[in-house]
Amino acid sequence: MDAEGYALYFSRATIPWDRDRFAKSLETVGDTFLRHLGIYGYRAGFIRRYVNWQPSPLEHIEMLEQLRVLWYGEKIHVAVAKEVPGTGVDTTEDLERVRAEMP
């Protein structure tokens, strides 16, 4: 996230990677990372543009459609949640786990 609250990048990997700290402790650094919880609101004009854009190379690598938006020069405003969100549902396995937890 930049100084104005806009996304710089999204990744399924842990970023930023603190090379020097990791080399010393062999642990990832948990105090500088944010977990993505995607709730998006779009204007109709944006959607009309978005559907005409080809998927970006970064989107193909990360499998994250948000990267298409950044690739084409648009901004995504982000905010930090005041409470820790629950477990994410990003895969079929996640969905099965959540369904098993439901009454």
pLDDT at 28: 53
Residue written as tokens 């779009």? 42
For the chain, the structural domain boundaries read 19-101
CB 19 within 8 A of CB 91: no
Sign of CA dihedral 67, 73, 74, 80: positive
pLDDT at 38: 80
CB 70 within 8 A of CB 9: yes
pLDDT at 20: 75
Residue written as tokens 């969100």? 85
Q: What tokens were used for 91?
A: 């895969």
State pTM to two decimals: 0.71
Burial grade of 67 (CB within 10 A; 0-12, 13-18, 19 or more): buried
Helix (H, G, I), strand (E, B) or coil at 77: strand
What is the full per-residue pLDDT of the chain (103 aa) written as tens digits? 899 999 999 998 878 777 777 666 655 555 566 777 888 899 999 999 999 999 999 999 999 999 999 999 999 999 888 888 777 788 899 999 989 988 8
